[in-house]
Amino acid sequence: MRKSTATDASSSVILAVESSCDETSAAISKNGEILSNIVATQAVHENYGGVVPELASRAHQQNIVPIVHQALQKANITKTMLNAVAYTQGPGLLGALLVGSSFVKSLAWGLQIPLISVNHMQAHILAHFIESPRPQFPFLCLTVSGGHTQLVVVRDYLAMEIIGETMDDAVGEAFDKIAKLLGLPYPGGPHLDRSAQQGNPERFSFPATSMPELNFSFSGIKTAVLYFLRDQLKHNKQFIEENLSDLCASVQSTLISMLLEKVEAAASQTGIREIAIAGGVSANSGLRSQLQVLATQKQWQVYIPKIEYCTDNAAMIAMAAHYQYLAGLTDTLAVSPNPRLKFGSENND
Ligand SMILES: Nc1ncnc2c1ncn2[C@@H]1O[C@H](COP(=O)(O)OP(=O)(O)OP(=O)(O)O)[C@@H](O)[C@H]1O
Ligand SMILES: [Mg+2]
């Protein structure tokens, strides 16, 4: 239930909370400047090879009070100085989202200040406005994370349009699932990246699926790797150990070429030359360096976030909340989280 509130643009001190998946995070922003950003990563999931939703909710419950306390303390801000509180409304795990939303709603009620609901995927993109250099509008953003792969035209802080997305798995999911097949610990993406840096990307060849228009598909490569490994392991039980870095480099290079092919097509279709990447997979060293190379060839201006702002964090939620606050976009306490929240959808009713 979104409402329009007259907000004081000259003063926006916002506490933002992120709890959509397995990171509990709180940040404070003042007039769009991030004063603190505390992130607690939940190690409990490592034992299960993936995020266990029930355990994520319990860990958020344990973490949220100390994390918010630390964020306030580091920013040297007291609760009474806050002008608004913000939280991730979705997309994400419902139980995890409920912890953040309930906590923040109680604060909004107790302090009698506005509540701001933020779309997590829009926030990943707005992480680019935390620090300079900031992209110029309109820019193209390739958002690549654990749950999403999207090509977005960003016309303004709050005006974004998805022009391409995955039809099945997200690229982060492909990284993680293939890493698991290779026996790497969870979350596999960063481990696969590290091993790929020592390997030969041309040693093995995996099929790069190309979907119509600006869409992606990552389920085929996962199955191709599964069958390839199964066949190789029949002849040599040590195949993975003996070839790990070449396997990682070959998989990573195929995934990156699938991503960059569509970025190139989107840039040519839209004529936009300001190109950004966002989300957890934008921490990938190969994607970062290959995008730079392509940008030099194409004369694009590229924007690559600092590693700490690639994966989930509350600073990006605070940034999105700052622009929503300036636009007077706040919510009533009747709002609730939406695990499948879409861009531009009017909350969750
Ligand atoms: N260096 C890296 N190389 C490849 N993948 C990486 C790297 N670092 C992180 N990732 C991947 O990023 C993903 C996590 O990103 P993020 O925290 O943005 O996702 P999420 O919040 O779980 O999903 P979403 O944002 O879609 O809701 C995981 O799949 C992880 O493996
Ligand atoms: Mg995320």
Ligand index nearest the alpha carbon of residue 284: 1
Identify which has the larger pLDDT, 233 or 345.
233
Q: In whole angstroms, how far apart are CA 78 and each of 37, 43, 68, 70, 289?
A: 15, 30, 11, 11, 42
pLDDT at 265 over 80: yes
DSSP label at residue 185? P
Ligand index nearest the alpha carbon of residue 90: 1
Sole residue written with tokens 């990006």: 316
- The arithmetic mean of pLDDT across residues 25-44, rounded, is 95
- The arithmetic mean of pLDDT across residues 334-338, rounded, is 96
Q: Lowest-confidence range among 38-42, 95-99, 104-108, 151-155?
A: 38-42
**For the segment 202-211, what is each residue's pLDDT rounded down to a tens digit?**
999 999 988 9
Distance 267 CA to ligand 2 centre (A): 24
Residue 251: both structure tokens together? 């998989």
Quickly state the pLDDT bin for 11 (edges 50, 70, 90). confident
Quickly state the pLDDT bin for 48 (edges 50, 70, 90). confident
Q: Count the alpha carbons within 13 Å of 121 in the hemisphere toward its beta carbon.
A: 30
Superfamily per CATH, domain 2-126+310-331: ATPase, nucleotide binding domain (3.30.420.40)
Angle at 207 between CA 202 and CA 208, to 5 degrees: 95
Alpha helices in 304-349 (DSSP H): 314-326
Quickly state the pLDDT bin for 348 (edges 50, 70, 90). very low
pLDDT of residue 191: 98
pLDDT at 51 over 70: yes
Sole residue written with tokens 């997979």: 281
Rounded Cα–Cα distance for residues 25 and 264 (Å): 34
Rounded Cα–Cα distance for residues 217 and 173 (Å): 11
pLDDT of residue 6: 59
- CB 252 within 8 Å of CB 196: yes
Rounded Cα–Cα distance for residues 14 and 224 (Å): 47
Ligand index nearest the alpha carbon of residue 279: 1
Closest atom of ligand 1 to 285 CA is: 1
**For the segment 77-96, what is each residue's pLDDT rounded down to a tens digit?**
999 999 999 999 999 999 99
pLDDT of residue 349: 40
Q: Using omega within 30 degrees of 0 as the cis cutoff, is the peptide bond preceding 91 cis? A: yes
Distance 282 CA to ligand 1 centre (A): 8
**For the segment 187-239, what is each residue's pLDDT rounded down to a tens digit?**
999 999 999 999 999 999 999 988 999 999 999 999 999 999 999 999 999 99
pLDDT at 343 over 90: no
Q: Amino acid letter at 247?
A: L
pLDDT at 157 over 60: yes
Q: In the chain, which segments carry CATH 3.30.420.40?
A: 2-126+310-331, 136-305
Mutate which of 39, 175, 195, 307 for ligand 1? The one with the most ligand atoms within 8 Å of its CB, which is 175
Q: Which residue, among 141, 84, 79, has the nearest Cα to 116 in the 3D structure?
A: 84
The pTM is what?
A: 0.95
Mean of per-residue pLDDT scores for the chain: 95
pLDDT of residue 345: 62
Rounded Cα–Cα distance for residues 56 and 24 (Å): 9
Report residues whose beta carbon is within 6 angstroms of any ligand 1 atom.
20-21, 91-92, 120, 124, 145-148, 172, 175-176, 187-190, 193, 279-281, 283-284, 311-312
- CB 128 within 8 Å of CB 303: yes
Distance 283 CA to ligand 1 centre (A): 8
Count the neighbouring beta carbons within 10 Å of the beta carbon of residue 236. Answer: 11
Q: Which residue, among 177, 160, 65, 149, has the nearest Cα to 118 in the 3D structure?
A: 160
Quickly state the pLDDT bin for 4 (edges 50, 70, 90). low
Closest atom of ligand 1 to 176 CA is: 31
Distance 78 CA to ligand 1 centre (A): 32
Q: Amino acid letter at 243?
A: N
pLDDT of residue 262: 98
Identify which has the larger pLDDT, 8 or 164.
164
pLDDT of residue 9: 62
> Which numeric CATH code is attached to 136-305?
3.30.420.40
